Amino acid sequence: MGGFLTVKIKFFKMNGAGNDFIVIDNRENALKDFDISHFVRMVCRRGKSIGADGLMLLERSDSADFKMRYFNSDGSEGEMCGNGARCIARFANLMNVAKEHMRFETIAGIHEAVIVGEEVQIMFPDLKVNDFKLLQRHDFGFGPIEYHFGTVGVPHVVIFRGDVESMEDELLLNWGRKIRYALDVFPRGTNVNFVKVVGPSHIIVRTYERGVENETLACGTGSIASSIVSFLIHAVEPPVTVKVRGGELKVGFERCADEFKNVYLQGDARVVAEGYILPDAWKE
């Protein structure tokens, strides 16, 4: 047993609004001997391994307090994950890597975060209004529908429906997959958000996530994209309370001419477990 345990990887399990992640401190290159994509696919399997929507590595950065690397559960490396960013910011603070106000590096650029009590607020770069393509129509295989598109670090489709809460899971997955894989329209694929406006500053969002290839309990960047499109189409006013299946998130932004400035995402970031990933976790 002692020899078996010589290969083990320290990890933490975290979640933000129900979006759950495996988090590893990789500042000393703990995964140097691994094919990271394969490792992520194996350990994110639910039932057979640790299980998670994604995996994050905290690494050293020359331009910020730390670098966040985010991997979807299918092993693909993502540009950004809003809920993951909140979790890794809290993790960095708990590990004394960063103070309560911090800057961190991602593929999508430098982001700032602030610890706000038991929540974390993530600031996003300014977004161009013209980067949101509104009132588009396309037939994805179930008849022409109206959709909206925007990028918040990663691509997002927004579709307004009156039955978001009662929408059958099978229907959501069917629509989500067909739209996500419409590579003639979205060459990089896309996340798909189903949105209902329920108040002047309140929306409900369910998201099919690219890379997870399923509905998740929350999507941070999807909540931002949905909030901004709801502002543009339905005059929803920020800060927007976003009800997701895993809880609530708050999205703030300011419209300044042709840009959205002071964009932020705020919500919980929970550390629920720590331990070691053992070799059986990454076996086929």
Token digits for 170? 């099978």
Query: Checking DSSP bridges between strand 127-128 and strand 119-124, what pairing results, if any?
Result: unpaired
Angle at 10 between CA 7 and CA 11, to 5 degrees: 135
66-72/101-106 β-pairing: parallel
Q: Catalytic site residue 256?
A: no
* 193 annotated as belonging to a binding site for a ligand: no
Whether 81 is catalytic is: yes
109 labelled binding-site residue: no
Can you tell me the distance from the alpha carbon of 146 to that of 107, in angstroms, rounded to the nearest whole number? 31
CA distance linking residue 30 with residue 36, whole number of Å: 11
- Please identify which residue in the block is written with the tokens 């998130």: 249
Check: CB of residue 251 under 8 Å from CB of residue 238: yes
Q: Is 221 annotated as a binding residue?
A: yes
Query: Is residue 209 marked as binding?
Result: yes
Instruction: Say whether 199 counts as a known binding-site residue.
Output: no
281 with 42: CB under 8 angstroms? yes
Residue 6 is labelled as binding a ligand: no
C-alpha to C-alpha distance for 219 and 83, rounded to whole angstroms: 6
Q: Which H or E run contains 242? A: strand 240-244
| 19 marked ligand binding residue | yes
Tell me: is residue 191 an annotated ligand-binding position. yes
Whether 174 has a binding-site annotation, put simply, is no
Distance CA 137, CA 120 (A): 36
Q: Which of 44, 87, 219, 256 is catalytic?
A: 219
Residues forming a β-bridge with 265: 122, 251
Going by the DSSP 8-state scheme, the letter that residue 238 receives in this structure is S
Annotated binding site for substrate: 19, 72, 82-83, 191, 209-210, 220-221
Active site residue ranges: 81, 219
